[in-house]
Amino acid sequence: MDLFKKSGSSFLSGEDVSRELGISRQALWKHIEKLREVGYMIEAVPHLGYKLIQVPDKMLASEIKWNLKTKVIGTEIHFYESLGSTNTVAYELAEQGAREGAVVIADEQTKGKGRLGRSWISPAEGGIYLSCILRPDILPNEVSKIALVAAVGAVKAVRKFSSLDALIKWPNDILISDRKAAGILTELKGESDRVDFIILGIGINVNTPRKALPAGGTSLKEESKSSADFSRVELVKILLKELEAEYVKFKTNGFAAVRSELKSYSCALGRYVSVTASGGTKLSGEAVDINENGELVLKLDDGSRKAFLSGDVTLVR
């Protein structure tokens, strides 16, 4: 496949390719047939040879790895056509010792997970569903910062890829025009003073039609009003690169290094919001800050301030 991609739009002669790969013409033909079976469109013309016409937009590891410019994240990719949840499989792999940066990705999830036992709708070939194994040297109480760091990476990736004005809704949503286009779920294995690993799960609605999503959901395709599908493979590459960049900043210089960008992309700051904490208490006020702990700070109606480490935000006005 690398030979095809390097050749651009020209024909590759069967003889040259066989020689370069050190295989017979017969073996080459079988290989081409296998590529066609997984969705590559390859033209074969007598005397001219083979030409790559179209690459499938499947999350094939080989497609994601082609020209991927990361050093750690995505250097190991496990692709599945259909899975219950990429987070669950990544968790199992991490328990078996998979290294930092290993990524599990699926075309479809049948039991996609949201936070607090909620579900993530993950139809086939519409979105990106991936989980990355991270092994940062941090304390468990800092784990919520990882989701925020990832949100900065994800929002930058979506903006670069689509030019849409994507924003972060603290702590883990990516919104476009106040509708949810992506969500982040971090899961942790560790003890009170130690993190073994974190599974960083990201779901992005790329081409998913709005009717397949819950109320309030949207996709990049819906928001861009485009009739053509976006390439999910291209977005994954940008996403992995942006995630790595933000993660490295966080590991090298701490949360302060990503906090100002996080704030600049946050749609809640300056707005009147309600926060429902994990215990169920709901408070309303103006969102005034995301502090150095990654907490959302509200200025309540009585003028006092309250910081939340986790919770669900509703934008009121």
4 binds ligand BT5 (CB under 6 A): no
Report in angstroms how near the CB of residue 294 gets to ligand BT5 at its nearest: 16
The two tokens of residue 179 are 């509708």
The residues near 227 (Cβ < 8 Å, ≥ 6 apart) are none
Between 70 and 218, CB nearer to ligand BT5: 218
| Contact region with ligand BT5 (CB under 6 A), list: 24-32, 39-47, 92-100, 127-135 | 127-135
CA proximity to 241, closest of 132, 157, 127: 157
CA gap 53, 30 in Å, rounded: 18
The total of other beta-carbon atoms located within 10 Å of residue 302's CB is 6
CB-side neighbour CA atoms (13 Å) of 48: 10
Residues 6+ apart with CB under 8 A from 155: 166, 167, 168, 174, 265
Contact flag: residue 254 with ligand BT5 (CB under 6 A): no
Q: How far is the CB of 288 from ligand BT5 (least distance, A)?
A: 22
Q: How far is the CB of 274 from ligand BT5 (least distance, A)?
A: 15
213 counts as binding ligand BT5 under rule CB under 6 A: yes
Interaction between residue 207 and ligand BT5 (CB under 6 A) = no
**DSSP line for 68-116:** ---SSTTSSEEEEEEES-HHHHHHHHHHTTPPTT-EEEEEEESS-B-ST
Smallest separation, CB 264 to ligand BT5 (Å): 21
Please pick, from the candidates 61, 68, 72, 121, the single residue that binds ligand BT5 as defined by CB under 6 A: 121
202 makes contact with ligand BT5 (CB under 6 A): yes
Q: Which residues make Cβ contacts (< 8 Å) with residue 173, sequence separation at least 6?
A: 151, 180, 182, 183, 184
Is residue 180 close enough to count as binding ligand BT5 by CB under 6 A? yes
User: Per CB under 6 A, does 186 bind ligand BT5?
Assistant: no
Residues in contact with ligand BT5 by the rule CB under 6 A: 85-87, 109, 112-116, 118, 120-121, 129-131, 172-173, 180, 183-185, 201-203, 205, 213-214, 217
